[in-house]
Structure formats: C-alpha cells, structure tokens
Amino acid sequence: MAVKIRLSRVGRHKRPLYRIVVADSNAARNGKVIEILGTYDPFDSATKYNVENAMRWIKQGAVATDTVRTIFNKSQLYKKIGTSLANETTSV
C-alpha cells in the first residue's frame, strides 16, 4: 500500500480550505484517510499541522505531494528530519 501525504478539500464554494491528510494513493481525493495531520487555508496562508506526526509518516516512507512538500518546506520540516527533497522525488 503506497501512502501519500496530500490535501483534501473542504470548505465552501469559491472559499476552499484544505486538510493535510495521510491517505492511500489509490483512495479518492476526499475519500477515506488514514490520519488528518492539519489544515491549510490558501487565502490566509495559515497552515497548522502536527509536526511530530508528519515527521513520523515521512520517516515511514509516506510521499508528500508537490503542494504539501512546498507547505512543509516553508516550515523547514525537511531540515528538521534531515531528509533531502532529492530522496523523495517520484518517477513519472
């Protein structure tokens, strides 16, 4: 089972709010999730997530999507755990 850290959209029409979730890569965007890590509001640039749980999932091999990786880079998460972005790039 390939696990990804990605965004799940919630909110209302033309005012999105996203949850940062851990989900199976085959699950639907707003489908079943394994764990909710936090939230991301693109209008307020407010991001709240559990750093310890995010670090745990990345160390276990979960792959973050490009958008989530950008969010994590803004908070220096990858520097905290010593993982380079080159190690996490996926082949297309």
Q: Are 21 and 37 in contact (CB under 8 A)?
A: yes
Per the CATH hierarchy, to which homologous superfamily does domain 3-88 belong? Ribosomal protein S16 (3.30.1320.10)
pLDDT of residue 8: 94
Write the pLDDT tens digit of every residue in 3-39.
999 999 999 999 999 999 999 999 888 889 999 999 9
- Give the C-alpha separation, 73 to 36, whole Å: 19
d(CA 92, CA 75): 27
Give the lowest-confidence range in 30-34, 43-47, 66-70, 82-86.
82-86
Handedness of CA 80, 34, 28, 43 (dihedral sign): negative
The model's confidence at residue 89, banded by pLDDT at 50, 70 and 90, is very low
- Helices marked H in 1-92 — which ranges? 51-59, 66-74, 77-81, 85-88
* Structural domain spans, the chain: 3-88
